[in-house]
Amino acid sequence: MTLAVTDPGWTVSQLEVHLTALLREMDRRIEGRFVGMEQSIKVAFDSAALAVEKAERDNKGWREASNEWRATMNDRERTFLPRLEAEKQFAEISNQLAELKALASSTQGRQLGVGVMWGILVGGGGIAIAIVTLILNG
């Protein structure tokens, strides 16, 4: 209800009623805005709280996975053979293999020498028997 102030029919009591009605309407609209803002702020705070909770859960899961991975890597470090130690062991094994080859070679040479010597002795003995047999039968 809008009435022009210049209307000669306005009285002080009508003006008071009109201004009071306008002020009440303005108060109602402002109160509605505040209620709407309070609801929006509450929704925003609730959403922020949910986001923080989710981030904390995700962070906890990430930390647990990280700790598990770290423990796995520590176990791996403990059980793996260090490179320097492996190279040292390979060098020792190579030296031992070379010694075994040399030993096998010398053993084969000795066995071959002993075999030849026995062959000569047996052959020489056979010749000696043949000569003695010829002399005695002859």
Per-residue confidence (pLDDT) for residue 114, from 0 to 100: 76
Helix (H, G, I), strand (E, B) or coil at 9: coil
pLDDT of 40 reads: 87
pLDDT on residue 4: 52
State the Cα–Cα distance between residues 69 and 75, nearest whole angstrom: 10
Which H or E run contains 63?
helix 12-79
Please write the tens of the pLDDT for every residue from 103-138.
888 777 777 777 778 888 888 888 888 888 888 886
Alpha-carbon distance of 72 to 23, in angstroms, equals: 72
Q: Is the pTM of this model over 0.75?
A: no
Q: Which pLDDT score, from 0 to 100, does residue 7 have?
A: 58
pLDDT of residue 56: 92
Q: Which of 17, 16, 15, 20 is nearest to 4 (CA)?
A: 15
What is the distance between the alpha carbons of residues 132 and 124, in angstroms, rounded to a whole number? Answer: 12
**One-letter identity of residue 19:** L
pLDDT tens track for 17-59: 999 999 999 998 888 888 888 888 899 999 999 999 999 999 9
3: Cβ contacts below 8 Å, ≥ 6 apart: 10, 14, 18
- pLDDT in the model for residue 119: 83
